[in-house]
A and B are shown apart, each in its own frame.
Chain A
Amino acid sequence: MAEVLVLEKVSRRFGGVQALQGVSLSVGSGEVLGLIGPNGAGKTTLVNVVTGVRSASAGRVLFEGRNITRLQPFQTARIGLARTFQIVQPFPDLTVLDNVAAAALFSQRGTRLSEAREFAAEQLEFVGLGQFAAKSAHTLTLAMRKRLELAKAVAMKPKLLFLDEVNAGLNASEVDHAMVLIRQIAKRGITIVLIEHLMKVVLTVCSRIVVLQNGALIADGTPQDIVNDRRVVEAYLGKKYAQLSAARG
């Protein structure tokens, strides 16, 4: 399995806070990697550093073997990195269709607006928003906006897609639908890094999971390894509980 993304000892500091400390990680092509960790562990910062929203204080980021540490967000977008935002970021007064068309238009050079709109319409059908194409994006419900984020990201024809909490705030059936979509996106051959709080989603969708705590990587393995890892249990539930569960076997 070729590596799409490699992080080499990536650190990021915000004043006195070490948001990421020496994170080394590689993501294989076609993988669905789960990235989990308690609140404030540095998950979103990691995505921000890779996509160029924040610069790394130290370390290197390689995408398909190319050093992208210093690239700007619009540049990483054009080479095949896409992301969804934890807090959805639509263009509120554009139509749903044009939101997605913009993503298709600007992420690939030489695309015409008419082609972009056509492609966008297909992506809207894919996420199930086809009937809302002509509505303004701000009229959508939260669940639909999350799907719009997905459609936008997919319309960029990314090689690597970061999904930052696409299920946060959704109800059970909406989450199920989102899981189906994620699986279908993976089937297109798009490598996915899934940031998620819902363990049910991570454990069923991901083939491999890495755990961040206080900006450091503390575990990396199959879903089975991760749920049994003592440090992970500690990070989520505290030392006392970890000892208790270890004693029980």
Chain B
Amino acid sequence: MKQRVYYGALALLVLLGCLPFLDSSYALRIGTFACMYAIMSVSWTVIGGFTGYPSFATAAFFGLGAYCGGVLINKGWPLFAAAGAAGVVAFAGALALGLVLLRLRGHYFAIASLAVAEVLRELTNTATELTGGGMGLNIPVSVTGSSSVMGEASFFFWAMWALLLLTFIVVRLIQESKLGFGLVCIKQNESAADMIGVNATIYKSLAFAFSGVFVAMAGALYAAWVHYIEPPDVFDVLFAVKPIVMALLGGLGSPAGALLGAFAFLGIEEAVWRNYLQIHSGVLGLLVVVLLLFLPDGMMSISKRLSQLGGRRG
């Protein structure tokens, strides 16, 4: 069953790669955003879903990656090298930070992780020489080599899409690995996990690092894609909250659920935004609350619920 969902999600993802052939810049823009958010929610699953630590640090990783990427590209680095470097910086930073932050549990950890983005944002604001501070950072360099608008849009879509594919596969591998097993043990009973020989501190820090590395790389791609970033834009708290809602919507602890949740959420958001321009935030919030109330285990539980329903009728 689990395998089937995984391969289903993978197939959907591969299918999504054909989007540029539609030749619609609107679809490409939405698609790139969908991949970007899916990278975040699938990444968040490692720390929030497997390990049970509600991290709000996604925005911090995204902003860090965006600025790392932006600065390096302006220094003449090729895009993928810059994105890779952003990932390495985020991974190392998260690992080090995790050793400290993950001593906190529950709400305390959530608040502390939320503060990380704020701290980074202030640092970015004050480091004017490097980051441009509050004026933002222009990334005028064309890194794609394509002069046409559609060519560039397709390039960034495929880059984001490939990163999502990579994220999804790596997170799935983590889930199946010894690391993933250890994380689930930590989630269910941390002191018992300790007693059977799980090095909880290292495991949790690794989970935190893996929840950040691909998000930071996505941030670097984003910076190159939009050509201009500023602190309130890339360290936006919504980048921390939305991935969590998406993961919950899809089904907590399942990478496939997080992926589907991200696409579903963006689909709903787009529809609501088009139809209720003035009150779209309110309508969206209400929808999310209703969905979570009636489907607390997310979309991944729909088939189970249906089979239960069928069983009752039959």
Chain A contacts to B: CB under 8 angstroms = 51, 53, 72-74, 77-78, 82-83, 85, 89-94, 98, 102-103, 105-108, 113, 152, 156
A94→B185 contact, CB < 8 A = yes
**Interface digits, B78-106 against A, CB 8 Å rule (1 contact, 0 not)?**
00000000000000000000000000000
**Interface digits, B172-192 against A, CB 8 Å rule (1 contact, 0 not)?**
000000100110110011011
Contacts of B199 in A (CB 8 A): 72, 74
B314 contacts partner chain A, Cβ-Cβ < 8 Å? no
A73→B194 contact, CB < 8 A = yes
What are 11 A-B pairs with beta-carbon distances under 8 A?
A: A51-B195, A82-B195, A83-B195, A91-B184, A91-B188, A102-B196, A102-B198, A106-B178, A106-B198, A113-B178, A156-B196
Is chain B's interface secondary structure helix, strand, loop, or mixed overall?
helix
Measured CB to CB, the closest approach of chain A to B27, in angstroms, equals 40
B184→A94 contact, CB < 8 A = yes
Contacts of B200 in A (CB 8 A): 74
Closest A residue, CB atoms, query B198? A106
B185→A74 contact, CB < 8 A = no
Docked Cα-Cα span, A94 to B182, in Å, equals 12
> Known interface pairs A74-B199, A113-B178. Does A91 touch B185 (Cβ–Cβ under 8 Å)?
yes
B76 contacts partner chain A, Cβ-Cβ < 8 Å? no
> Known interface pairs A74-B198, A74-B200, A78-B197. Does A105 touch B192 (Cβ–Cβ under 8 Å)?
no
A105→B189 contact, CB < 8 A = no
Measured CB to CB, the closest approach of chain B to A88, in angstroms, equals 9
Contacts of B194 in A (CB 8 A): 53, 72-74, 77
A77→B196 contact, CB < 8 A = yes
Contacts of A74 in B (CB 8 A): 194-195, 197-200
A90→B189 contact, CB < 8 A = yes
> Known interface pairs A74-B197, A74-B200, A78-B197. Does A102 touch B191 (Cβ–Cβ under 8 Å)?
no
Docked Cα-Cα span, A93 to B194, in Å, equals 17
Docked Cα-Cα span, A152 to B189, in Å, equals 14
A77→B192 contact, CB < 8 A = no
Measured CB to CB, the closest approach of chain B to A98, in angstroms, equals 8
Measured CB to CB, the closest approach of chain A to B49, in angstroms, equals 13
A89→B198 contact, CB < 8 A = no
A106→B192 contact, CB < 8 A = no
Docked Cα-Cα span, A102 to B182, in Å, equals 8
Closest A residue, CB atoms, query B182? A106
Docked Cα-Cα span, A97 to B59, in Å, equals 38
**Interface digits, B184-218 against A, CB 8 Å rule (1 contact, 0 not)?**
11001101111111111000000000000000000
> Known interface pairs A105-B178, A113-B181. Does A90 touch B196 (Cβ–Cβ under 8 Å)?
no
Contacts of A93 in B (CB 8 A): 188
Contact of B189 among A77, A83, A91, A108 (CB under 8 A): A91
B188→A92 contact, CB < 8 A = yes
**Shortest beta-carbon contacts, A-B, top 3:** A77-B197, A89-B192, A91-B188
Contacts of B182 in A (CB 8 A): 102, 106
Docked Cα-Cα span, A73 to B188, in Å, equals 17
Indicate the member of B178, B184, B191, B195 with the most A CB atoms within 10 Å.
Answer: B195
Measured CB to CB, the closest approach of chain B to A223, in angstroms, equals 29
